[in-house]
């Protein structure tokens, strides 16, 4: 499924790119997607991910669902709160100073009266999330996406998105937290996201080509994030737009 875990070591992405480099689609194929030069290998990884999901990830998420929902939501909010300082930096880098102020306010209120993010009083105050990553900042600056990749476990991405995860995961306050927290941190976020994806399973199963559906859905969501919910109209010939306006 899409983006179970929002992180990956930079070396893993580079290694995947090198492996995929020898398995790109034929350049003379008139039906080849130019964004997806490694489609044959990406599809193989997609099949692996689906089998892994059926055998491990989905059952684990269903077990995690037995944890009371208020507890699950509080844990997820606390992890999301740790991302606010880096979102502040990226909002500043993108020149979105008002959003940077909102992000700073969210981190202050949720970290204090919100009990380190377990609660979300900032949203009740009208300070809605303005999450930004380094990949989004680079995209705003005009850096190309790079090729589409289907990574094991992590799912669909482009180089500019996953390629900056190492930086995104090494900022305050994460730099002050022991590495022993990495596994539970990623596990909680991954299982929470997997539970949310269940609502889209039927749509995926009914699609003619689930791989292509997920790829186009990823690109639509990526554009939505880069343009903060207001992407420009796509040129003729691009994929049909999919609505990703749900809360992040």
pLDDT tens, position by position, 126-172: 999 999 999 999 999 999 999 999 999 999 999 999 888 878 877 77
Burial of 141 (0-12, 13-18, 19+ CB in 10 A): exposed
Tell me the C-alpha distance between 220 and 115, whole Å. Answer: 35
Q: In the prediction, which pLDDT does 105 show?
A: 98
Q: In the prediction, which pLDDT does 178 show?
A: 64
Q: 31 and 18 in contact (C-beta within 8 Å)?
A: no
Unique residue bearing structure tokens 């994460």? 174
- Strands 148-151, 155-158: parallel, antiparallel or unpaired by DSSP? antiparallel
Instruction: Tell me how many degrees the CA angle 217-167-85 measures, rounded to the nearest 5.
Output: 90
Tell me the C-alpha distance between 200 and 197, whole Å. Answer: 5
């Amino acid at each position: 499924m899409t983006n179970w875990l929002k992180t990956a070591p930079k070396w893993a992405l580079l290694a995947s790119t090198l492996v995929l480099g020898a398995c790109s689609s034929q350049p003379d194929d008139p039906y080849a997607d130019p964004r997806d030069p490694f489609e044959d290998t990406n599809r193989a990884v997609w099949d692996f991910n689906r089998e892994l999901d059926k055998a491990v990830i989905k059952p684990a998420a269903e077990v995690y669902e037995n944890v009371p929902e208020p507890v699950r939501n509080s844990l997820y909010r606390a992890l999301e709160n740790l991302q606010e300082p880096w979102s502040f930096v990226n909002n500043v880098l993108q020149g979105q100073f008002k959003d940077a102020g909102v992000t700073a306010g969210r981190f202050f209120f949720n970290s204090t009266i919100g009990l380190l993010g377990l609660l979300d009083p900032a949203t009740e105050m009208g300070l809605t999330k303005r999450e930004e990553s380094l990949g989004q900042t680079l995209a705003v600056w005009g850096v190309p996406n790079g090729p589409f990749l289907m990574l094991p476990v992590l799912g669909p991405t482009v180089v500019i998105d996953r390629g900056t995860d190492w930086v995104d995961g090494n900022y305050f306050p994460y730099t002050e937290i022991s590495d022993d927290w990495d596994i539970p941190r990623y596990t909680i976020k991954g299982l929470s996201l997997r539970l949310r994806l269940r609502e889209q399973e039927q749509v995926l199963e009914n699609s003619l080509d689930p791989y292509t559906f997920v790829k186009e859905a990823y690109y639509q969501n990526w554009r939505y994030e880069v343009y903060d919910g207001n992407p420009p109209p796509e040129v003729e010939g691009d994929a049909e737009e999919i609505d990703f306006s749900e809360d992040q």
